[in-house]
Structures are given as structure tokens and as C-alpha cells.
Amino acid sequence: MRVNCTVNGEKRQADDVWPGESLLYVLRERLGLPGSKNACEQGECGSCTVYLDGTPVCSCLVAAGQAEGRDVVTVEGLEFGRVQEAFLEAGAVQCGFCTPGLVVAVHDLLARNDKPSDPDIREALAGNLCRCTGYEKILDAVRLAAR
């Protein structure tokens, strides 16, 4: 099948999509946007988080066809700003596999709540697994970005 959607502000079209493919697969393998990551492909780790019509979702849980006609923003489409800067400055990046999903999730958190408390941050990021950092530096990054 063919899927049309807007990705990072551009109209995109993917052809020969097998109906079982996820939005994550289409982004990574058909549209040349591998920034969203494939860690669990089961909606548990948040590494594939993208905006779908402005709402953060696990793109692994969105069937490709569900993206038809909709607006997708991936980590590659976010303007480089205080969130990404703060991750670098705070040492919140180690292997970096969770980072794209976290950057999107933090971008969304700060858009909703520009002065989150620590419990707010923890609740907002509870769906993003990180295996390297123990999360302390990620909390530091969010606090820094919110400053």
C-alpha cells in the first residue's frame, strides 16, 4: 500500500508498504529517518517516541496506515535547542540509544510544564527506559533545560 503523511514539515510518500509495518519501520527503513529507535518494538521503552499530530506516541505501536494524512515530527525534525544542549551539558548521553526518545519526551514535558518538579519529571519520563545512566544525569538535563 501507499502511505502519505507529513514528516518534519514535508509531505512524504512511502510506496510498497506491507500493511503489517509500523510507523517506526516506515520512518527508519523507507523514509531515511533512523533517529527514532528500535529497542523493544513493544511500546515499553519509549526509544521510538515521535509526535503524531502533536501528541507523543511510541511509533512502534502505530501501524503505518494509521499515519495516513497525519503530521509526524521525529527527533530529526526538532529544532536543536535547550533540551538537546542540556543533555550534552549534563552528561545525560552515554550509549545514546534512548536519547532520541527522551529528547522528544522532554521536549513535550517542557512544552506542557516549564517548571516541572522532580516527581513531575519522573512521572513524565516513566515510559522511557535508559540502561546506561541510572537516570540521574537525565534528571539533571531536564532541570537544566527548564531553568
CA 9 – CA 111 distance, rounded (Å): 19
Burial label, 129 (beta-carbon count in 10 A; 0-12, 13-18, 19+): middle
Stretch that binds other proteins, among 51-59, 61-69, 87-95, 108-116 (CB under 8 A): 87-95
CB of residue 69 vs other proteins: minimum separation in angstroms? 24
Stretch that binds other proteins, among 36-44, 51-59, 62-70, 108-116 (CB under 8 A): 36-44
Q: Is 103 or 110 the residue whose CB approaches other proteins more closely?
A: 103
Decide if residue 108 touches other proteins (CB under 8 A): no
